[in-house]
C-alpha cells in the first residue's frame, strides 16, 4: 500500500528592500491616493484602528472588464504606523475565493541604513488554496496577474522612481 501526502504552503512571505522612508511606505500601503497608483490600480480604504474596516476597490479598468466595485475586504487587527499593519483579507470578487473566507495579512516595515527600508509581507493563507495560487502568481498564464510579487515590485518602482509599472500590463499578464 502506498500513501501520498500532499503538503501545501499556507503562509507566503515576500520581502523587498525599498529606497524610501518607512513613512512613505506606510502611506503607499494605507492611503487611497497612493494605492491607486500601483499594483492593480484600485484604491484601498482603511479605518486604521483595531476592528476598523478595510476595502480594496477595483480600478476603472477592472470594472470595465466586468469586475465588481470591491475586490477585497477585511478588518484591521493592529496598526502601528509606520512599522506594522495586521489585517484580515478576503477576496470577494471571485465567489470561490470569497467562500475560502478571511486570511491574515501582515505588513512589517523596518528601517535600515542608507535610506533603505525592508518591507516584509506575510500572508497566512490557511484554508484558502485557490487564493494562495492567485497571490503566488500561479494564475498569471490565465490573465490573473502576478500576485504579491507584481504588487510589491510595482510599489518599489513607484516609490523609487515616481512612476509605476504599467497597470494595464498587470491586468493583461499571461
Predicted model pTM: 0.88
Strands (E), the chain: 11-18, 44-46, 53-57, 70-80, 84-91, 103-111, 117-124
Report d(CA 125, CA 119) in Å as an integer. Answer: 19
Report d(CA 129, CA 87) in Å as an integer. Answer: 19
Residue with cell 475565493: 97
Query: Is the peptide bond between 82 and the residue preceding it cis, with omega within 30 degrees of 0?
Result: yes
Tell the burial category of 16 from Cβ atoms under 10 Å away from its Cβ (0-12, 13-18, 19+). middle
Residues making up the chain, counted from first to last: 174
pLDDT tens profile 146-174: 789 999 999 999 999 999 987 544 444 43
Q: Which domains does the chain have, with CATH numbers?
A: 11-163 (3.30.530.20)
For the chain, residues with pLDDT lower than 70 are 1-9, 139-144, 167-174
Amino acid at each position: 500500500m502506498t500513501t501520498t501526502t500532499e503538503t501545501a504552503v499556507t503562509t507566503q512571505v515576500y520581502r523587498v528592500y525599498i529606497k524610501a522612508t518607512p513613512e512613505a511606505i506606510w502611506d503607499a500601503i494605507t492611503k487611497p491616493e497612493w494605492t491607486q497608483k500601483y499594483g492593480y490600480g484600485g484604491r484601498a480604504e482603511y479605518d486604521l484602528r483595531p476592528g476598523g474596516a478595510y476595502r480594496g476597490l477595483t480600478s476603472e479598468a477592472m470594472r470595465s472588464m466586468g469586475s465588481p466595485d470591491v475586490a477585497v475586504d477585511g478588518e484591521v487587527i493592529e496598526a502601528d504606523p509606520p512599522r506594522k499593519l495586521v489585517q484580515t483579507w478576503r477576496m470577494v470578487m471571485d465567489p470561490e475565493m470569497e467562500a475560502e473566507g478571511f486570511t491574515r495579512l501582515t505588513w512589517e516595515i523596518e528601517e535600515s541604513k542608507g535610506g533603505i527600508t525592508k518591507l516584509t509581507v506575510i500572508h497566512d493563507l490557511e484554508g484558502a488554496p485557490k487564493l494562495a495560487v492567485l497571490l503566488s502568481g500561479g494564475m498569471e498564464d490565465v490573465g490573473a496577474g502576478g500576485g504579491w510579487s507584481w504588487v510589491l515590485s510595482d510599489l518599489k518602482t513607484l516609490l523609487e522612481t515616481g512612476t509605476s509599472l504599467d497597470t494595464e500590463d498587470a491586468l493583461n499578464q499571461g
